[in-house]
Amino acid sequence: MAATLAAPFSGSTLLACLLARHSQLSSDGEIFPLEANNSVICSCGKKQLECPYYRQAAGHMLGPDGKSWDEALFAPCPAYSRFTLIDKALGRLWGNSALRLAQRCLRRIPLWRRRDEAFVAAHLRFMQNSLRLRRARVYVDGSKSVRRARLFARSGGVHLKVIQVVRDGRAFCFSYLKNHELPRTHLPAATRAWLKNLKAVERFHALFPHVPVLNVRYEDLCRDLPETMHRVCQFLAVPYEPTREYSDARPCHVLGNRMRLTFSGQIQENLRWQAEFPPEDIAFLNRTLRPHLERYQYSL
Contact 170, 195 (CB under 8 A): no
CATH of 2-168+209-268 given 3.30.370, 3.40.50, 3.30.450, 1.10.287: 3.40.50
Show pLDDT as tens, one digit a residue, over the chain (300 residues).
999 999 999 999 999 989 998 999 999 998 886 655 567 888 888 888 899 999 999 999 998 888 888 888 898 888 776 655 555 555 555 545 444 455 455 556 677 778 888 999 999 999 999 999 999 999 999 999 998 999 999 888 789 999 999 999 999 999 999 999 999 999 999 999 999 999 999 999 999 999 999 999 999 999 999 999 999 999 999 999 886 545 454 568 888 777 676 676 678 888 999 999 999 999 999 999 999 999 999 998
Contact 161, 1 (CB under 8 A): yes
Domain-by-domain residue ranges, the chain? 2-168+209-268
What does 22-69 look like in DSSP terms, one character per residue? Answer: STTEEE-B--S-SS-GGG-B-TTSSBGGG-HHHHHHTGGGB-TTSSSB
Q: How far apart (Å, rounded) are the C-alpha atoms in residues 112 and 81?
A: 10
